Structure 1
Amino acid sequence: MKLKKIKPNWGDIFANLLAFCAFVAIGLGLWLCYIFIIKMKGFSEDIWQDRTLLGMAGEFLGGTVGPIWALAGVILFFLALIYQKRELVLQRMELHESRKIMEDQSRTIAIQQFENTFFQLLNFHINAANHIRNTKINSNSKSQNAFDELYVDFKKETDKLKKRRKADAGSLSPSDQSFENTFIAVFEGYKNTFQHYLENYKALLLFIKNKSHDPSFYYNIVKSHFTEQEVQVHFYYIILVSKNPQLIEIIEDNHMFEKINERAVSDVDPYHLQKIDKEAFRREY
């Protein structure tokens, strides 16, 4: 195992060298002062009464020790600037770390707030779907729930539309507007049952797109709760009633119709499958 070489910190080395020079300069000045005092004691007492000699001695001491201590002062001032700069750098790093921690905390809080709302919408969707599956609109219908009944009624009305179309124009291909009008007419009879369910469905998809940090993850969670019957209702509602470009983009990009029964859609009319990009029906597994 090779030991990793530690690179020398030249900044610290330079600062330590300056500090050493400053202390040497101070020590040298003190030593010169000490030598000067010792030498002065060796002279006769007359020198202390001669102002001229004392002035010369003072000039000599100031001329030698003064520059040395001035140099030490400059060095110490420069060291103070270096350490002040380091302190500012450390404070900046601490502020950066504090900001990063606050950003992480804010991101965590935002995710928690998003997930609280997301799971509330998802639970509402699941409860609404269960209610619809347990609701039977037409007592004479063989269907077990409102999802099946809506599809059966729409298929019946579409078959009638095709027969009228064939009788009038000799063609089995009704126009987009005819399909739309037919579905809306059928949907009106189920509006009270499906309205809140479909509004929550749209709100859930748009909420994930606009607020989520990882939309694909949450779309996969939502898809796992959709049944084939639900996806079929979503399909017709999106292409014939809502026609929301943003919703269609979400559905195509995230394969939201992967559970759809394409044969059941083709029984109504295969033309509808061409209204949305094939990516919407692609299975990811």
Structure 2
Amino acid sequence: MSEKKDKWYGNENFWMWAGITACGLALIIPFAILFCTNNFSLKGIDGLGTFGDFFGGTTVGLFNLSSILLVLTAVIMQRKELEQTRNEFVQTNKTLIKQQFDNTFFNMINLHNEIVRGLGVERQKGKYALDYLNTEVKSKYQLNREKIDDKKLRLIESYNEVYKKFIFGHYFRNMYRIMKFIDQAEKLNISEKKNYIGILRAQLSTGELLLIFYNALSDREEKFRELIMKYNFFDDLLDDDPYYQEFKRYLES
């Protein structure tokens, strides 16, 4: 029913032609009546007055109807133009919001890359420094084998030793800020958010991913861990690493 209603009720062409038709009928009907009654004779000025009254009586109502229909046509056309303008405004606003998000997001990615390039550990720079830190955590884990029996506690303690020795906490704070920015974007659906998470993840080396994994296991980054679990941050990228395979179940606990 609604589709049928839209075909005529909201169609300005229908009302426009209805108005034109009413106007045409207003002009034709008086002459049609005279023709059908064979009464075309006028008796002087008095006849003209009578004919004027007759013509007005048979046409004014139709002319009024025609005016109403044409005004209705104008109203419908104006309503559609306003609706189109509103839709264009909404679409433009969405585009501007999306562009603003993209600009901020990629600026944050650039900041992340600058932070990585600025890292220096034992003569190692950038991503090599992060790979070195990952190696240090694994070495500490092996050295602590006799001191700590529980494997999870041993890995966390090994990571904490490296974390305290080398200053790289700002790296994780920035990573969490990017993840939180994506997660709180109200105009993005879950699929779009996962796509941006994927773009972020593509910037990271295996060493970085493993450090983020160790950091998520520690008690210091509970909120970060929640975002990692929500978006399956590691996906299958670390499946070849034995440490990840052994300890990934602890992320959920």
With the shorter chain as reference, the TM-score category is 0.7 to 0.9
Q: 1:251 to 1:235 in 2, by over 3 A?
A: farther
1:216 matched to 2:194? The reply is yes
In structure 2, what is the equivalent of residue 173 of structure 1? 150
User: Are residue 24 (structure 1) and residue 24 (structure 2) matched?
Assistant: no
Instruction: State the AA in 1 paired with 2:24.
Output: F
Q: Which residue of 2 aligns with 1:73?
A: 60
1:155 paired residue among 124, 132, 138: 138
* Bigger Rg, which one: 1
3-state DSSP class of the match of 2:121?
A: coil
**Identical pairs, percent:** 17
Deviation per residue, 1:126-167 (Å, 9 max, x gap): 1222332xx224x6x9xx9432343233334333443124xx
Choose 108-117 or 150-159, whichever is displaced more.
150-159
The residue that corresponds to 1:109 in the other structure is: 96
Deviations 1:161-182 (A, max 9, x none): 43124xxxxxx32465x65454
Give the corresponding residue for 2:227.
247
**Closer/same/farther in 2, CA of residues 65 and 262 from structure 1, 3 Å limit:** same
CA distance in 1, matches of 2:94, 2:23: 46
Cα 1:246–1:73 change in 2 (3 A) is farther
| Matched length | 232
1:123 equivalent in alignment to 2:110: yes
Does the Cα contact within 8 Å between 2:22 and 2:62 map onto a contact in 1? yes
Q: 1:115 to 1:13 in 2, by over 3 A?
A: closer
SS at match of 1:163: coil
Unpaired runs of at least 5, structure 2 = 1-6
How far, CA to CA, are the matches of 1:179 and 1:229 in structure 2?
A: 15
Q: Over aligned residue pairs, what C-alpha RMSD do you find? A: 3.6
Corresponding residue for 1:226?
204
Give, in angstroms, the shift of residue 257 of structure 1: 4.6
Q: 1:95 to 1:126 in 2, by over 3 A?
A: same
Q: How far is the alpha carbon of 1:261 from its aligned partner?
A: 6.0
SS at match of 1:259: coil
CA contact (8 A) 1:231 1:257 kept: no
**Partners of 1:30 and 1:203 in 2: how far apart?**
86
Residues 1:196 and 2:170 are matched in the alignment:
yes
In the alignment, residue 231 of structure 1 is paired with which amino acid?
A: L
| Structure 1 unaligned blocks of 5 or more | 1-6, 42-56, 166-171, 278-285
Map Cα deviations across residues 161-204 of structure 1 (whole Å, 9 max, x no partner).
43124xxxxxx32465x65454334312223xx22221111111
Cα deviation for residue 82 of structure 1 reads 0.8
Q: Which amino acid in the other structure matches residue 226 of structure 1?
A: L
Q: Which residue of structure 1 lines up, in the alignment, with residue 216 of structure 2?
A: 238
Q: Aligned partners of 2:82 and 2:103: how far apart in 1? A: 31
Native 8 Å contact 1:29 1:65 kept in 2: no
TM norm structure 2: 0.75
**Matched residue type, 2:180:** L
Counterpart secondary structure, 1:230: helix
Q: Distance in 2 between matches of 1:67 and 1:188?
A: 104
Task: Output the amino acid matched with 1:242.
Answer: E
Secondary structure at the aligned position of 1:186 is classed as helix
Cα shift at 1:104: 1.6
Which of 170, 174, 179 is residue 205 of structure 1 equivalent to? 179
Measured after TM superposition, the shift of residue 114 of structure 1 is 0.9
Report the equivalent of 1:274.
Answer: 249
Contact 1:122/1:222 (8 A) holds in 2: yes
Higher relative contact order structure (alpha carbons within 8 Å, sequence separation ≥ 6): 2
Q: Secondary structure at the match of 2:249?
A: helix
Does the 8 Å CA contact 1:228/1:261 hold for their aligned counterparts?
no
Q: Distance in 2 between matches of 1:105 and 1:179?
A: 51
The match for 2:19 among 15, 18, 21 is 15
Matches within 5 A, 1:48-67: 61-62=49-50, 65-67=52-54
1:15 to partner: Cα distance: 3.0
